Chains A and B, each alone.
Chain A
Amino acid sequence: QSVLTQPPSVSAAPGQKVTISCSGSSSNIGSHFVSWYQQLPGAAPKLLIYQNDKRPLEIPDRFSGSKSGTSGTLGITGLQTGDEADYYCVTWDSSLIAVAIGGGTKLTVL
């Protein structure tokens, strides 16, 4: 059972926008950065967003991140079928003194 809560699944049509939430507490998201990862089927996860809202150079600006209080949000615009994947939020937890990973959200592009 993760200390970070994500919806198990989200879905949207191609071209639309979707958001994925990640809810935590004061010991994790409330006091640390959030990062987001995309895991395509059969592949290792890939870093999408770090330090709440920063993108690695190779990640298109269709992907965005934000944080408010004890929650983080990943946004994806202009959905493509290739975006179908599992998405995970990650942060540090000061109480656990460990990395915390959300349970993951499966994105379906209808």
Chain B
Amino acid sequence: DAMVIQNPRYQVTQFGKPVTLSCSQTLNHNVMYWYQQKSSQAPKLLFHYYDKDFNNEADTPDNFQSRRPNTSFCFLDIRSPGLGDAAMYLCATSRELGGDRGSEQYFGPGTRLTVT
């Protein structure tokens, strides 16, 4: 049974056209994360929510926004996608933050974004 679901798996958008990626979880975890992964690179943390508390990484561009309307869902909004935003976007969840028991992150299959 899928625990972290990402839709769509593949998304094509035009340069400058807003796009939203979605993530849902059936694990009832407190924390939800969004990572950006480009080819042959490490996943780069964009932001995370602990419950309703939003935590933005300092180097995440303003072009990237997120919403978490409830425990199960989290959205990544890219307001004006540029060619450099083409990447795999990974959603993950965990019960707690890193270091303690329950902090292992469970990932969705990712959404591959293409910008034309």
A binds B: no
